[in-house]
Amino acid sequence: MRKLRYVLLLCLAIVLSGCSNTNPFYNKQDISSNSYLANQINDDEFDLNYANPVIIMQKSQELGLTKKFYFQQLNDKEKYAYIQIVEGFENYQSNIKINKVSDESILKVRQALTLDNPKYFWSRNLKQIKTLDNEYLEMVYDIPNNAKDTKEEIESIADNVIKNMPNGSDYDKVKYLYEYVITNTEYNEQASNNQDIRSVFLTQSSVCMGYSLSFEYLADKAGIESFLAVGKFTNSTLQSDMESSGFDFHAWNGVKINGNYYWVDTTWGDTAMDHPEIKFSENPIDYSYLCVTDDVINRSRQLDNNLDSYFNYHIETSQGIWQFPQFTDSSLDYYKRQGQTLDTFDSNQFNNYIINQIDSGKTVIELAFSNEANYKAALNYLNTNNISQLLADHYQTRIATRWIYQNYSYRINLEVTK
């Protein structure tokens, strides 16, 4: 009996190189070298007249920003600066004049704008911040010469994806987009532009940041509230391998469906990696990270809501800048919806489940457990019993089996060959 265990091998290969050690949100040399951020500026010093809430509401509606996850968490001055940059981006301006805001606010605006708006794939290319006078700053961006054509090409591709999206519930739409990003993207650490959506839509090759930004981009077009999340691994083994590989972050998404929030990780859903020995699933997509809860996500990572870790620029008040809702509803968990989640472990129940799946024509049996204790009990059972012999005795014929498992999703795949 051959046991294939990709508890770490698959996940590490998918994730640890998912985010470049070149931070997509901050270029320390570009920012620290200009005099503006060297001078602490307090928001209280400025008149709020330019950031009139009525004007902000009007402009945010015109630009489609009202439901942007990070935009909603900014104060009025930050929102207005964000809007000014977006208006510049809409006209492909490289030099954008904005009203002054504090040091911390400019960092918040930059991050919020990048995370909220994947379509502006050049938004992280901030070259310089110039002080124009006591009221205004100039944001200088490096925008590709072909930005307009590229943006329109990507929009055309994405519009076609949405055109082919099946009619159904928001869950059905999210599942469709999850599958699209995974099946149309090859995981590749060396992919060009792998920190933005060009990598997925134009070259079909990316890493976690590209996967996640592209999912968010499509979700926005589909009318699904979505946002990009970034964090670090909490598991010591993952942390060690990540550090030795030189990678800092992992990116994934949150979505809102019928008033509830769910996590979606397209990168970890992609099993089509350079591991041919584990590609025996009937479906190349792993649904373990489609619409899951905090409980599932927190087994491997921790959300990062601290600006310091993104920007490498320390501000004393930047702890806990971003607030996240709770993700507690498990009703949209894929394996639970498919009746493939076991709430308890009993050897007879386990054996009967496998036999019933085989009798229904399955050659690959996928099942998950709702808690760690029962998941470990199932692993122990597989380790201490010859499942091939048990099945051979039942069917009175030679049976070959092999199995793999995932510690972070409590899932087991069993392949059966008669």
* pLDDT confidence tier of residue 3, bands split at 50, 70 and 90: very low
Number of CB atoms found within 10 A of residue 338's CB = 12
* pLDDT confidence tier of residue 121, bands split at 50, 70 and 90: very high
Average pLDDT over residues 71-92: 97
Closest CA to 344 of 371, 365, 379, 383: 371
Measure the CA–CA gap between 295 and 166, rounded to whole angstroms.
Answer: 30
Q: Taking all residues of the chain, what is their mean pLDDT, rounded to a whole number?
A: 83
pLDDT at residue 275, as a whole number: 43
Closest CA to 139 of 193, 81, 91: 81
Handedness of CA 361, 365, 367, 372 (dihedral sign): positive
Average pLDDT over residues 62-79: 96
pLDDT at residue 243, as a whole number: 57
Q: Within a domain: residue 329?
A: no
| Same structural domain, 35 and 181 | no
| Helix residue ranges per DSSP H, 44-169 | 53-62, 76-90, 103-116, 147-163
**pLDDT above 90: percentage of residues in the chain:** 65
Q: Quick one: DSSP state of residue 408? A: T
Domain boundary among 141, 166, 193: 141
Measure the CA–CA gap between 366 and 287, rounded to whole angstroms.
Answer: 10
pLDDT tens digits, 30-51: 443 343 443 444 444 444 566 7
Average pLDDT over residues 96-106: 92
Q: Within a domain: residue 6?
A: no
| Same structural domain, 276 and 366 | no
Average pLDDT over residues 228-244: 70
| Same structural domain, 261 and 369 | no
Please give the structure tokens belonging to residue 47: 């008149």
Number of CB atoms found within 10 A of residue 329's CB = 16
Lowest mean pLDDT of 40-49, 312-321, 398-407, name the range.
40-49
| Same structural domain, 122 and 156 | no
Average pLDDT over residues 226-241: 76
| Same structural domain, 239 and 224 | yes
Tell me the β-bridge partners of 131.
Answer: 137
- Please give the tally of structural domains in the chain: 3
* pLDDT confidence tier of residue 283, bands split at 50, 70 and 90: low
Does pLDDT of 7 surpass 60? no
| Same structural domain, 90 and 170 | no
Lowest mean pLDDT of 143-152, 210-219, 281-290, 403-412, name the range.
281-290
Report phi then psi at 357, rounded to 5. Answer: -65, -40
Average pLDDT over residues 292-299: 95
* Distant-in-sequence contacts of 27-31, Cβ < 8 A, 24+ apart: 27/126, 28/311, 28/312, 28/313, 30/126, 30/127, 30/128, 31/126, 31/129, 31/311, 31/313
| Same structural domain, 136 and 153 | no
Does pLDDT of 303 surpass 70? yes
Average pLDDT over residues 395-403: 90
Tokens 């400019």 locate to: 106
SS3 85: helix
pLDDT at residue 51, as a whole number: 75
Measure the CA–CA gap between 383 and 376, rounded to whole angstroms.
Answer: 10
pLDDT at residue 202, as a whole number: 98
Does pLDDT of 327 surpass 90? yes
Q: How far is CA 284 from the centre of its chain?
A: 19
Quick check: 77 and 43 in contact, CB under 8 A?
Answer: yes
- CATH number of the structural domain spanning residue 209: 3.10.620
Q: Within a domain: residue 9?
A: no
Radius of gyration of the chain (CA): 24
Number of H helices and E strands in the chain, helices first, is: 16, 15
* pLDDT confidence tier of residue 320, bands split at 50, 70 and 90: confident
Report phi then psi at 292, rounded to 5. Answer: -115, 175
pLDDT at residue 262, as a whole number: 98
Does pLDDT of 273 surpass 80? no
Tokens 């009990």 locate to: 377
Containing domain of residue 351, as a range? 339-417
* pLDDT confidence tier of residue 101, bands split at 50, 70 and 90: very high
Domain boundary among 295, 311, 327: 311
Give DSSP secondary structure letters for 250-282: EEEEEEEETTEEEEE-TTTTB--SS-GGG---S
* pLDDT confidence tier of residue 80, bands split at 50, 70 and 90: very high
| Same structural domain, 278 and 300 | yes
Q: Within a domain: residue 68?
A: yes
Does pLDDT of 174 surpass 80? yes
* pLDDT confidence tier of residue 281, bands split at 50, 70 and 90: low
Amino acid at the residue 6 = Y
| Same structural domain, 136 and 151 | no
Domain boundary among 141, 164, 197: 141
pLDDT at residue 4, as a whole number: 29
Q: Within a domain: residue 254?
A: yes
**How many residues make up the chain in this entry?**
418
Cα atoms in the Cβ-side hemisphere of radius 13 Å centred on 228: 29
| Same structural domain, 172 and 99 | no
269 by Cβ neighbours in 10 Å (0-12 / 13-18 / 19+) ranks as buried
Please give the structure tokens belonging to residue 15: 């994730």
Q: Within a domain: residue 5?
A: no
Measure the CA–CA gap between 197 and 203, rounded to whole angstroms.
Answer: 10
Q: Within a domain: residue 18?
A: no
Number of CB atoms found within 10 A of residue 2's CB = 10
Quick check: 311 and 107 in contact, CB under 8 A?
Answer: yes
Tell me the β-bridge partners of 368.
Answer: 341, 411
339 by Cβ neighbours in 10 Å (0-12 / 13-18 / 19+) ranks as exposed
Measure the CA–CA gap between 252 and 209, rounded to whole angstroms.
Answer: 8
* pLDDT confidence tier of residue 90, bands split at 50, 70 and 90: very high
pLDDT at residue 418, as a whole number: 81
Cα atoms in the Cβ-side hemisphere of radius 13 Å centred on 356: 10
Does pLDDT of 393 surpass 90? yes
Q: Within a domain: residue 12?
A: no
| Same structural domain, 30 and 167 | no
| Same structural domain, 121 and 197 | no
Average pLDDT over residues 312-338: 82
pTM score, two decimals? Answer: 0.86
